[in-house]
Amino acid sequence: MTMINLKQSLIHLTLKKIDVVSIILFFRQVADKLKLGQSVEPESFDAVTVFFSDVVSFTKIAGKCSPLQVVNLLNDLYTTFDGIIDSHDVYKVETIGDGYLCVSGLPHRNGQEHIKEICSMSLEFLSSLAGFRIPHLPQERINLRIGAHTGKLSVNIRAYSLNRIFCL
């Protein structure tokens, strides 16, 4: 690794830390309001892109697996995806079974970058599948069905759910 690459990596890491701190501060403000019994007003975002994916024929693949193998498969897949998200301005909302929901353009607005961020992330997801293998089903390949929508979005904070902060 050259000195330039090292410095670029340090800059990237520093920017990631700033993003994490910004999100923590955002949630801290919300938490402080909730602790004081104050309501958190819904917020509208004029320009976001929402991404959803699911695994094609997941039920068929899962039928060839033990419950633990299904959990491990999804964990491996989503660990791969989470690593990709780390290099994009994308917020993972949640995973439900084989469904993966994320958004760009919130909690921090990013102009029109949300479109590029989601599209670029989507292509990286698809590229990552070329080398992805299911240990106990080496001949099976994972394919994704991907959908995205760009537009306005309203967000509401749910006081009773600490695991899922946003209600889209």
Which tens digits make up the pLDDT trace of 125-139?
999 999 999 999 999
The pLDDT score that the predictor gives to residue 163 is: 45
Kindly state the DSSP code that residue 134 receives in the 8-state scheme: B
Residues 6+ apart with CB under 8 A from 49: 103, 104, 105, 114, 115, 117, 118, 148, 149, 150
Whether the full predicted model's pTM is greater than 0.85, yes or no, is: no
Q: What is the CATH number of domain 41-167?
A: 3.30.70.1230
The pLDDT score that the predictor gives to residue 73 is: 95
Closest-CA residue to 110 (of 45, 41, 42, 30): 45
Q: Mark the ranges of the chain whose per-residue pLDDT is less than 70.
A: 1, 3, 5-31, 33-35, 39, 157-168
Other Cβ atoms less than 10 A from the Cβ of 30: the count is 16
* C-alpha torsion angle, residues 5, 11, 15, 18 (rounded to 10): 140
Cα 26 to chain center, whole Å?
Answer: 17
CA angle (119, 90, 123) in 5-degree steps: 25
Note the maximum CA span of the chain.
Answer: 55
